[in-house]
Structure 1
Amino acid sequence: MSRPKIKSKNDVKEGTCVKSMPVSSGRESYVPQVTPDRHQTTARKLKDKLKIATWNIRTLLQKGKLENIKQEMERMQLNILGLSEVRWKGAGKITSGGHEIIYSGGTKSEKGVGIIVDQTASKAIKGYWALSDRVLLVKIAGKPVDLNIIQVYAPTANSNDEDLDKFYNDLDTAKTQCKSQDPLIIMGDFNAKVGTEKVDDIVGKHGLGIRNERGEELIEWCQTNNIIVGNTWFQQPPRRKWTWKSPGDETRNQIDYTMISKRYRNALLLAKTYPSADCYSDHVPVVGKFKLKLKKNSKPFTNIKFDLAILKTNQTIREKYQISVQNKFEALGDAEE
């Protein structure tokens, strides 16, 4: 994808978009711490819904922060929560209190993305791919098709063009691993403003603020890949649109988005922010309600039968078995030493 080089300063975190209003400064309990769908997704029962959100939580290195976020996740009744700026090193998956946390970081405690799933959704995880400290892909088993979720943390306004090019290249790579017939949700902190001006069937008129150059690039990528910016299509009051506030709460902008493939746009029932959520971050979560159904990803159990009688009748197999057992015991002894 060819993109014009950005020469002017990005104003993603400049300019007042929403009048300053009092907000919660924290909770002591945490210290410290629409076109018709081409697939029959919309024909399912209304009870087949998922609540999926994205949130820039600034860091997970702070003591008690993970428990704080899990409590907020349960309070908002979220099934899946994407995280930006996790700041954990390396990549992997851990379990904490019934939640699965998949994360992708770098060699330093910077940037980093992650996805937390509840106990129900964790049973449907088919796999994940940690592409970089800015892009993470998780595949989840669904009915009748699988669900792909990409969590991102885009470069800030201070980053250079090379960082932005690498980010979009990683995003393109992640998207190529997803089947076109499967729902694709892309969410995270894009550090871009798409504004209130409608763009075809990609960006709705219910965004916030004035579009900037990073927003133009994001829209161009969405047009190329048939992705819609979900939280610009639902009419909400300004307090349900802004996702980031400046120090001192003088400025509020919309730079975090929940997006979905155009083919499944009718699966997104609602998208809005939750300003009441608190984890000592200058961002608030963007929560989407989706008409999608998961299924448990379990392999059928097969009872393996061993032919023990052959050890008595076959000399060759008996010798191989004895050598194999002896080697394992020797290896165990070395490990104990």
Structure 2
Amino acid sequence: MSIELVKILKKRKINIACIQETKWVGPKAKEVDGYKLWFSSRSKYRNGVGILVDSELRDQVVEVRRVTDRMMSIKVVVEGLTLNIISVYAPQAGLGDEEKRRFWEDLDELVGGIPPTEKLFVGGDFNGHIRPISGGYDDVYGGFGFGDRNGGGVSLLDFARAFGLVIANSSFPKKEEHLVTFRSSVAKTQIDFLLLRKDDKGLCKDCKVIPSEYLTTRHKLLVMDLAIKMTRKKRVVEDRPRIRWGSLTTISALEMGAKLKNMGAWDSSGDATSMWDKTASCIRVVAREVLGVSPGSRGGEVDEYRTL
């Protein structure tokens, strides 16, 4: 499963992925084809969450918190910004109220401990439906949902409101196939969600399901595009002295022609490559003499950016 998922993440150029139902036991980490996977699980038969980070960002992870087998977070420092990514797996509808209460209390405590100056992104399987009508939650819900709202959906909306978050995959008008996150032979629903702070909503350029990517689970890949500038590298650009071809006039062209004739630029002999090399060299020498050259200078550093 992990290898198949990483292949998809690489193809789609996804830097960080929150995953659920990992089934790997223990608070550990593992290498997966260039990505690093941190996970938290108590049993290989139930629950389990994880976060995959690609080769460009894995060394910038400064903190990993494993709260329960349903919840964990990492802290990544990128270009002076601190990003907190939380992966969650909410209890299913059939489980008891006590387990659901503990889940939301744990999540409240985890999110409440993140400073408001840091970026926050929450992704996971919330096992709830929010429906395609805001119904009093316009401040956290964009109105583009799928399915009938249930208790799990209300809990998610109340949580988002309490911490000033917005549900990213409800904020963009999409066709049904780009909204449905879980599909089986008998049902299709939207139970996976990505959230971020309201103040950072402008960072999110798009959020949708990619239905063409098939995983061994019945969940679909839900992707959020964030426009966070990252300096990939800095390269020095040198401005070398250049011939002032822009100053070429009829008079200067005649002058150059006479000089080239006197130099024997057109009297080359031998193979074509040797003839061209001699003629080109003569032209450069004469052009510098007649037209002049621009002063060379050391250019500045050029930043190259990418999006996360």
TM-score clears 0.5 = yes
Q: Matches of 2:158 and 2:74 in 1, distance apart?
A: 24
| 3-state SS of paired residue (1:131) | strand
More strand by share: 2
Q: Given residue 240 of structure 1, which amino acid in structure 2 is its aligned partner?
A: H
**CA-CA distance at 1:166 after TM superposition:** 0.9
Per the alignment, residue 228 of structure 1 pairs with 166
Which region of structure 1 is more displaced relative to structure 2, 180-189 or 89-98? 89-98
Matching of residue 193 in structure 1 with residue 129 in structure 2: yes
The aligned length equals: 230
Aligned equivalent of 1:154, options 90, 107, 115 = 90
**CA-CA distance at 1:181 after TM superposition:** 1.1
Q: Given residue 166 of structure 1, which amino acid in structure 2 is its aligned partner?
A: R
Q: Given residue 265 of structure 1, which amino acid in structure 2 is its aligned partner?
A: K
Task: Note closer, same or farther for the CA distance 1:283–1:146 as it changes in structure 2 (3 Å cut).
Answer: same
Q: Matches of 2:29 and 2:129 in 1, distance apart?
A: 32
Say if 2:18 and 2:123, in contact at 8 Å, map to a contact too. Answer: yes
Larger RCO (CA under 8 A, 6+ residues apart): 1
**Unmatched tracts of structure 2, length 5 or more:** 233-308
Per the alignment, residue 6 of structure 1 pairs with none
Q: Matches of 1:99 and 1:254 in 2, distance apart?
A: 27
Say if 2:209 and 2:221, in contact at 8 Å, map to a contact too. Answer: yes
Matching of residue 267 in structure 1 with residue 203 in structure 2: yes
Per the alignment, residue 209 of structure 1 pairs with 147
Per the alignment, residue 237 of structure 1 pairs with 175
**CA-CA distance at 1:108 after TM superposition:** 4.9
Q: Given residue 231 of structure 1, which amino acid in structure 2 is its aligned partner?
A: N
TM-score when normalising by structure 1: 0.66
Matching of residue 116 in structure 1 with residue 52 in structure 2: yes
Q: CA RMSD in A?
A: 1.5
Per the alignment, residue 225 of structure 2 pairs with 289
Q: Given residue 93 of structure 2, which amino acid in structure 1 is its aligned partner?
A: A
Say if 1:141 and 1:295, in contact at 8 Å, map to a contact too. Answer: no
Matching of residue 142 in structure 1 with residue 78 in structure 2: yes
Per the alignment, residue 3 of structure 1 pairs with none
Matching of residue 258 in structure 1 with residue 209 in structure 2: no
**CA-CA distance at 1:107 after TM superposition:** 4.3
| 3-state SS of paired residue (1:123) | helix
Q: Given residue 210 of structure 1, which amino acid in structure 2 is its aligned partner?
A: D
Percent identity of paired positions between Structure 1 and Structure 2: 26
Instruction: Report Cα offsets for 1:65-124 as digits up to 9, x if no partner.
Output: 221111111122111111010011111222232111000111453100001111001121
Instruction: Report Cα offsets for 1:12-49 as digits up to 9, x if no partner.
Output: xxxxxxxxxxxxxxxxxxxxxxxxxxxxxxxxxxxxxx
**Unmatched tracts of structure 1, length 5 or more:** 1-64, 297-337
**CA-CA distance at 1:135 after TM superposition:** 0.5
Q: Matches of 2:231 and 2:39 in 1, distance apart?
A: 22
Say if 1:88 and 1:110, in contact at 8 Å, map to a contact too. Answer: no
Q: Matches of 2:122 and 2:7 in 1, distance apart?
A: 24
Instruction: Report Cα offsets for 1:186-239 as digits up to 9, x if no partner.
Output: 010000001111222201111112211211111111111111111001011100
Which region of structure 1 is more displaced relative to structure 2, 102-111 or 189-198? 102-111
Matching of residue 175 in structure 1 with residue 111 in structure 2: yes
Per the alignment, residue 44 of structure 1 pairs with none
| 3-state SS of paired residue (1:162) | helix
Task: Note closer, same or farther for the CA distance 1:148–1:73 as it changes in structure 2 (3 Å cut).
Answer: same
| 3-state SS of paired residue (2:200) | helix
Instruction: Report Cα offsets for 1:245-299 as digits up to 9, x if no partner.
Output: 13x2x32111100110112111111000011112211110110000124579xxx
Q: Matches of 1:290 and 1:226 in 2, distance apart?
A: 18
Q: Matches of 2:80 and 2:61 in 1, distance apart?
A: 15
| 3-state SS of paired residue (1:109) | coil
Between Structure 1 and Structure 2, whose CA radius of gyration is higher?
2
Q: Matches of 2:112 and 2:84 in 1, distance apart?
A: 11
